[in-house]
Chains A and B, each alone.
Chain A
Amino acid sequence: MNTFKIGGVHPNSNKLTAGKKIEVLDLPAQAVFPLSQHIGAPAVPCVQKGDSVLVGTRIAEPGGFMSASIHSSVSGKVAKIDSIVDASGLRKPAIFIDVEGDEWDPSIDRSEKLVLQSTMSREEIVERIKNCGIVGMGGACFPTHVKLCPPKEFTIDTLIINAVECEPYLTADHRLLLEYPDQIVIGIKVILKVLGIDRAVIGIEENKPDAIELMRSKISMVSGIEVMPLKMKYPQGGEKQLIEAVTGRQVPPPPALPASVGCVVQNVGTVFAIYEAVMKNKPLIDRIVTVTGKEVTNPCNLKVRMGTPVSQLIEYAGGMPADTGKLISGGPMMGRPLLDDTAPVVKGTSGVLMLPRSEAARREERNCIRCAKCVQACPMGLEPYLLATASERSEWAVAEENWIMSCIECGCCQSTCPSRRPLLDWVRLAKNRVGGIIRARNAKN
């Protein structure tokens, strides 16, 4: 069975909600839409205070090429345009909408019926995906229309569908595969048409045998699409790791793109969103969120409208356990801690995890003992101890020479460190600084 070659760790998978059907969460009383939910320039609001909106009304336009639209997921009135503390822990501008009823934009097809074919051309499909504000649903939130238009000098031959879900606890993608397999297959066909190729591989980790079997049966009549079971290893869901696991090709260090080895990777969540956008004209207004934690009474998978406060999800799952030490947006490896539960669900929220205090607290940091476990664990072949030390001493040139920009921030190094050093914190800091230095240098030239 395939997997990527170097590094990686095996955290406890803790998929408590794998067998839980997707449930639909009620509408919130007020929905909040932060303007930067994606990589790139923040969106620009195109509604004003007091405007009435329907479900699916565009409320913010892309702020540049690398940006995405934002649509209202509720009907009601725009209460204000203010700021809110989102999952990044920083105060960001956002649009607040008071919910009144549930009226949908009439152009959206709300029926359950499968739409198999579309007469749209490639350009029209990309335009539709752009207009519907679709971004990568795996967590990075890269605008999808940008990803579907790789630079002309590269020949793309393989589309890889990321259904790995290597992050512990999360089961949103798994449930999507089990409950909407037909939609996903149609979505894949749409993307293949856009890219003008005929080979797609769905990468699924072996811990989801039911999904592997179901997808295999669904694609048995379709040529060109293949399901590839992958050996369990974190961070297999990383774009570069998945490309290596599926095709054996290695993406060169940044600024090279996956397109340079002929691959385009899309998350299953994104594929489903593309199906809804292209076939049903439905913008990205809801997503599947796993609400979980070892001591949560009713861990579940929820279909949630964007902008719903996290507190409502927690309430549905039976409230926050008394002994919760950390509330995380996303999974335990790559998720971001939330300061409080008022943060809204955004396009990149794949899960809400409540960790008990004993698991959440970091233990006291000790000196590096040069065991090189972090080097062994790094899936990018970097030397995290060296990068962290360089960062600690503000030696940005050393960090850059040692390929810090290749780091995918998976956290393998930090999770294996026997001295509990906050390696990833330092590396993130250095990555931020070196990135700034590189951008300044490029702007000068």
Chain B
Amino acid sequence: MTFILTAILVLGVTGLVLGLVLYAVSRKFKVEEDPRVAQITRLLPSANCGGCGFPGCAAFAEACVKSDSMEGLKCAAAGKKVMQQIAEIAGHSIDQGVEKVAVVKCNGSCANRPKTGVYDGAKSCAAAALMNGGDTGCFYGCLGCGDCVKACRFDAIHMDPETGLPVVDFDKCTACGACAKACPRHVIELRNKNKMDRRVYVSCVNKDKGPVAKKACAMACIGCGKCVKACQFEAITLENNLAYIDFDKCRLCRKCVDECPQHCIVAVNFPQKEPTDNQ
């Protein structure tokens, strides 16, 4: 009987002493954490995509709380509403700017861009771009190995098996820019989302001279400059045989689309045009 009593006594006293020590230590070394960090972290998508430039969502939340304003801090994946909430929690005002979306600027489908060789190396655009100019005559366009698909943390970009080109799911795309960064050919660009998701852009990045570009791809920009003349808003510039539409200046009038002899200027999400008489 005494044996059991001794055991209870010894363990009890030891437990009490150690408990007191633990209590003292936890009081002494207590870390004051801003509860707002945890709140913001809970709001963030937790994809840790790195689109914001921080190593993860938690690091971004901490940066939001610590910084003096929301300038330069943006989680594209969270969206406007959540960013507003985050700014409120952090106690900053926020200017949200324009919503963006990733756009693939290449028309080089299997039909438009004939193959000139076979690439059977590592399945990576980066490796293919390094090894040679890819398996078509175009040295600028999509390589089709899907580095952008691998880079996307939101399942918003997929390869179309028919065309061999990536297709962006605009509802899922958060404009984090991971795909644009992953593309060794800089085919993907973040452009304004616009009203009703309507966009006009030059779907080509080929900087070769007209005949060379045309030989490589049936829908390549040949740098003819017709679109530049057609644009009333000075939104289109021509550099290195390639037209570029400034999305901040573009008013979506679509005059350039009709003018382009190569049909490489693409207009998406517009209603079908009524056929005119002379067409």
A91: which B residues are within 8 A, CB to CB?
A: 133, 139, 208
B139: which A residues are within 8 A, CB to CB?
A: 85, 90-91
- Kindly state whether residue A45 has any CB partner on chain B within 8 Å: no
User: Out of B116, B122, B133, B208, which one reaches A90, CB within 8 Å?
Assistant: B133
Contact (A340, B122) CB under 8 Å given A89-B131, A432-B130:
no
Q: Which residues 398-439 in A have Cβ within 8 Å of B in the complex?
A: 422, 425-426, 428-429, 432-433
For chain A, the bracket of interface size reads: 10 to 19
Establish whether residues B127 and A85, one from each chain, have CB atoms under 8 Å apart when the complex forms.
Answer: no
B121: which A residues are within 8 A, CB to CB?
A: 362, 422, 425
A-B CB contact pairs (8 Å), 14 listed: A85-B133, A91-B208, A336-B132, A337-B117, A337-B132, A392-B122, A392-B124, A425-B127, A426-B124, A426-B127, A428-B131, A429-B122, A429-B124, A429-B130
- In the docked arrangement, what's the CA distance between A339 and B117, Å? 6
Interface residues of B (CB under 8 A from A): 116-117, 120-122, 124, 126-127, 130-133, 139, 208
Min Cβ gap B129→A in Å is: 9
Q: Which residues 283-309 in A have Cβ within 8 Å of B in the complex?
A: none
- Kindly state whether residue A322 has any CB partner on chain B within 8 Å: no
Establish whether residues B132 and A88, one from each chain, have CB atoms under 8 Å apart when the complex forms.
Answer: yes
Establish whether residues B117 and A428, one from each chain, have CB atoms under 8 Å apart when the complex forms.
Answer: no
B130: which A residues are within 8 A, CB to CB?
A: 428-429, 432
- In the docked arrangement, what's the CA distance between A433 and B132, Å? 16
Establish whether residues A339 and B127, one from each chain, have CB atoms under 8 Å apart when the complex forms.
Answer: no
Min Cβ gap A426→B in Å is: 5
Interface string of A87-115 (1 = CB under 8 A from B): 01111000000000000000000000000
Min Cβ gap B87→A in Å is: 32
- Kindly state whether residue A361 has any CB partner on chain B within 8 Å: yes
Interface of B is mostly: loop
- In the docked arrangement, what's the CA distance between A289 and B133, Å? 24
Min Cβ gap A50→B in Å is: 20
Establish whether residues A425 and B133, one from each chain, have CB atoms under 8 Å apart when the complex forms.
Answer: no
Contact (A339, B122) CB under 8 Å given A91-B139, A429-B127:
no
User: Out of B116, B131, B208, which one reaches A425, CB within 8 Å?
Assistant: B131
Establish whether residues B132 and A361, one from each chain, have CB atoms under 8 Å apart when the complex forms.
Answer: no
B127: which A residues are within 8 A, CB to CB?
A: 422, 425-426, 428-429
Known interface pairs A337-B117, A425-B124, A432-B130; 12 further A-B residue pairs with C-beta atoms within 8 A, sorted by A's residue number: A90-B132, A91-B208, A336-B132, A337-B132, A340-B116, A362-B121, A422-B122, A425-B131, A428-B127, A429-B126, A429-B127, A433-B126
User: Out of A339, A362, A428, A433, which one reaches B120, CB within 8 Å?
Assistant: A362
- In the docked arrangement, what's the CA distance between A339 and B121, Å? 14
Q: Which residues 375-394 in A have Cβ within 8 Å of B in the complex?
A: 392
Min Cβ gap B135→A in Å is: 9
Min Cβ gap B273→A in Å is: 38
User: Out of A339, A392, A422, A429, which one reaches B132, CB within 8 Å?
Assistant: A339
Establish whether residues B122 and A89, one from each chain, have CB atoms under 8 Å apart when the complex forms.
Answer: no
Min Cβ gap B220→A in Å is: 14
